[in-house]
A and B are shown apart, each in its own frame.
Chain A
Amino acid sequence: MNCDLYRSEMYAWRPGSDEKTFQPLFDHLDSCAECARFFEHLTASDERVGRTFQSYPQSPFLESRILSRLAHQRAQATARRPGRRVWMLAPAFVALLIVFFVWAAPWLQLARVNREMAILLSKPPALEINSTDRERLLEWSASQLQGSPTLPAELDKVEFRGAAAISVAAHRAVLLKMENEERASLVVVDAPLTQDNLFHSMHEGSGSASLWSDGRRSYVLLFNGTDQELQAYMTRMGIIA
């Protein structure tokens, strides 16, 4: 290897470099005075360059500028965070709202039916058809509703004297006045307003009511009297045991 190649290798060397790698270079320096002088000059020059690199302008306010801008950024981020949290909670809030309405829907519907029954008790509609012919009344009722004119078996003993078409909870319905009890009426609604055929009692100032369903239609027995009187009437007519 000639001196030029060794000199280029000197630029790859730095204090602390692997001795084994640079052993050929140091062997050459031991035998070549000119390269040894060059290496000595290079090392001294390197040290001077290193020192010169450490002499650069100062920036006394840089640290405080960086820290104050960081603090400002953090303050802005903190101010924005609550808004972001609200947005993040929005889907959960909507889901909660949906669950609430699904869960509360039967209760809300029952409350609405209750209000409408209270109105029917205090202000009954005028009859549209007067007849004691059960078959005829049921045929007429079926024409106002949809489907068969049959009533559930528990109403087999009940006779009617007239009917009127009404609306309950936005569903088509008919109100049938009882023949054997002036105070009683039956409302047949073309929708299942309640989940099952259990009798739900409703009490209002003008009277009482009992709601049940056959799964397709809902039936409400209105009674201008106390709950006990309604229960006695229903028992007497075989509606309940």
Chain B
Amino acid sequence: MHISDQTFDDWVRQYQRLLFGIAYWWTGSRTDAEELTQEAFFQAYRSRSSLREIEAVKGWLVGILRHCYAQMYRKGHSRIEISLDEVMERSGDTMDLRSDGTDPHDSLALRQALERLDERHRLPLVLFYFQELSYREIAEALELPLGTVMSRLSRARQLLHETLATPGALTLVKKIRKVNGI
């Protein structure tokens, strides 16, 4: 399939935010997410002839992002545990409710909860909540059987909710609140 440079550039404009968001929740790092997103688009550009249907471009890009993620962590990157100081530095100026009504403490708690999940649960979970992809789309992007995706997601959601509901999971957030005088 021939894909013009103009079409590909349009895809970059349309999907870069989506890929960055997924990568951010997968890695927990803005820098890694930017690196992953760029690499995913470059690899997608190089292999653009492998895309079978234009309609499947979103799932195709997410699949490439997943490959890049696997490559990045095979090459020696490891998920960096976020220190309290780093969390405070990143979030210290946004501790009030955001304009969209979300609580920044929820973001921290979510990030911590995701870090506690192993990769096979974290990857589909992010696709499930972040983009609300269907089970089938998640299965295609992760190259997994549909049944496997459904069982992993069910287990991942359970683990996530249990973690978020556990008082210990929010210790870090409470510490930050205390530091910020909340």
Report which A residues bind B (CB closer than 8 A): 8, 11-12, 14, 42, 45-46, 48-57, 59, 62-63, 65-67, 69-70, 73-74
State which of A49, A54, A66 has its C-beta within 8 Å of the C-beta of B41.
A66
B98 lies within 8 A of A54 (CB): no
State which of B37, B100, B110, B130 has its C-beta within 8 Å of the C-beta of A66.
B37
Q: Quick check: which of B9-17, B57-65, B76-84, B173-181 contacts chain A, the rest being far away?
A: B9-17
Report which B residues bind A (CB closer than 8 A): 5, 8-9, 12-13, 16, 20-21, 24-25, 30, 33-34, 37-38, 41-42, 45, 98, 100-104, 106-107, 110, 126, 128-130, 132, 150, 153-155, 157-158, 160-161, 164-165
Chosen A-B contacts, 8 in total, with CB atoms closer than 8 Å, are: A42-B161, A49-B164, A55-B106, A56-B25, A63-B12, A66-B16, A70-B42, A73-B42
Are A51 and B33 CB-contacts (below 8 A) given A70-B45, A74-B5?
A: no
A13 to chain B, nearest CB (A): 9
Report the bound CA distance from A122 to B34 in whole Å.
85
A59 lies within 8 A of B33 (CB): yes
Interface majority SS (helix, strand, loop, mixed), chain B: helix
A67 lies within 8 A of B12 (CB): yes
| B residues in contact with A42, CB < 8 Å | 161
Report the bound CA distance from A46 to B129 in whole Å.
9
Are A56 and B12 CB-contacts (below 8 A) given A8-B154, A8-B158?
A: no
| A residues in contact with B165, CB < 8 Å | 45
